[in-house]
Amino acid sequence: MLSRIFNLFPWILIFIFMLTGSAQVVPHQDDLYGRLQPYLRGIRFDFAAWVFDASWTKLEQISVGSPHYMDRATRKHLVAEFFRLTGRIFEAEDRLSQIFSDPNIADPNAESVVLRAELDSLYARQSEIAPMAEAILEEQVSVVLAEAGLTSWGQPVPRLLYHVSSLPMALVISPRDAIRQDANISLLTDFPVNEQDKLENEIAASLDVSALVVPVGGIGIYPTMGMRTTYLPWMVDTMAHEWIHNYLTWHPLGLNYETSPELRTINETTASIVGGEIGRAVIEKYYPELLTVPHTDLDLLSWNENPLGPENDRMPFDYRSEMHRTRLRVDELLAVGEMDEAEAYMNHRREVFWHNGYGIRKLNQAFFAFYGAYADVPGGAAGEDPVGPAVRALREQNESLADFIHQIMWVDSFEELQKMVE
């Protein structure tokens, strides 16, 4: 027992470090943060409680040991069951929501007795297998990170710890006259959409800013947080994405995450590149059947998890291209001080997206400030921001992913990145 605790001690120290440094995940301006406080009472997410619970779960998981005793087929079966259960839970939760929303059902509690019992059973089974499924995926991603040269002595540092749960919503604040993320504050996981809209409108009217509450897919605290999903490729991508945030925290690029909007974009674009490359390598190595049959509902449930709307190849509407076009026009209007015109234009474009199958609740400066930072793919919400292309150019200049990371992790300004690219 003593030797086991000794083996865990380095990871406990890493946990303490990451916890004390976790405020870097939520950058903000002090004055703006103070003015926002009256609107945030009772709706802030409790990171300390979540980290304590998740860390305890992970320490128990580590103490038991990784699933080395399972053969490959058993591991794949357990991971598949985890995702199947998640799909069944989503379906049952949706049916339950419909029961309580149907005005023709006089007693929704009585009507949903059997369904709620089914849900409790599904929750219990998933809680039973989730730690092992997470451990299997953590190990698989770690192996691929090692093969990519992104580990020390064969192990990721810090150790890859990832926990699936309901994620907090993020309140994003941007000025009205520019697209820039000035604050990103985590709110309750179950913050209802009507309250989101009310909060955004109150803050916008009182502080003359652009506000938007958005869902997030993962958060790079420690252990890292990931949302529930039935899409395995997305999960392993996110595991690598959030791990590289933790890795960069020990280097200038991560330490300067909140120094400027440019450095935030460099961080997020770098993490997106790593997540994409490592995630695909994990699928190629352990789940190659998903490359030929990407949407199987027998072995691994999967469907598109794009929070901005479903992809539909049959529709003559290119979401990324149209969003890029929208961002360019908004930038033009804001550059000449036409804030009202820019906001009217964004509202009109939101209706265009809606009629083409993309339900965007609110399209404003905060929307672009948040989504524009993920610039690993040309176009989209990033517009003509030169930061994303510079990161992609540096990746192209390096033969390996490890060489790219070992170069960009020392960046502490956009100018430094430009010099590296030149």
Residue range 169-184, pLDDT digits in tens: 999 999 999 999 999 9
Helices 261-286 and 387-397: crossing angle in degrees, nearest 10, is: 50
For helices 261-286 and 232-248, angle between their N-to-C axes, nearest 10 degrees:
130
Distance CA 66, CA 159 (A): 12
Q: Which of 187, 185, 193 shows the shortest CA–CA distance to 166?
A: 187
Say which amino acid occupies 24: Q
Q: How does 42-78 read in b/e, with b if 16+ C-beta sit within 10 Å? A: ebebebeebbeebbebbbebbeeeebeeeeeeebbeb
Give the whole-angstrom CA distance, residue 347 versus residue 264.
Answer: 27
Q: Is residue 213 within 8 Å of 196, Cβ to Cβ? A: yes
Over residues 288-325, the pLDDT tens digits come to 988 875 444 334 433 333 334 444 444 478 999 999 99
| CA-CA-CA-CA torsion sign (184, 185, 188, 193) | negative
Answering whether pTM is above 0.85, one says: no
Structure tokens at 170: 């993020």
pLDDT at 14: 52
* Separation between Cα atoms, residue 184 and residue 48, nearest integer Å: 17
Asked if 272 contacts 376 with a C-beta cutoff of 8 angstroms, the reply is: yes
Torsion angles phi and psi, residue 187, rounded to 5: -110, 175
Give which of 61, 77, 192 is closest to 132, Cα–Cα.
Answer: 61
pLDDT band at 139 (very low <50, low <70, confident <90, very high): very high
Q: Are 222 and 158 in contact (CB under 8 A)?
A: yes
Nearest 10 degrees: CA dihedral of 257, 263, 265, 270? -80
Q: Which amino acid is at 49?
A: A
Q: Alpha helices, DSSP H only, in 208-260?
A: 232-248, 252-255
Q: Of the candidates 255, 284, 278, which has an alpha carbon nearest to the alpha carbon of residue 267?
A: 255
Per-residue model confidence (pLDDT) at position 30? 58
So what's the pLDDT on residue 278?
A: 97
Predicted local distance difference test score (pLDDT) of residue 9:
40
Mean pLDDT, all residues of the chain? 85
Identify the bridge partners of residue 225 per DSSP, sorted by sequence position.
163, 219
Residue 166, both tokens: 């309901």
pLDDT at 20: 40
Q: How confident is the model at residue 384 (pLDDT cuts 50, 70, 90)?
A: confident
> What 3-state DSSP class applies to 210?
strand
Question: 146 pLDDT exceeds 90?
Answer: yes
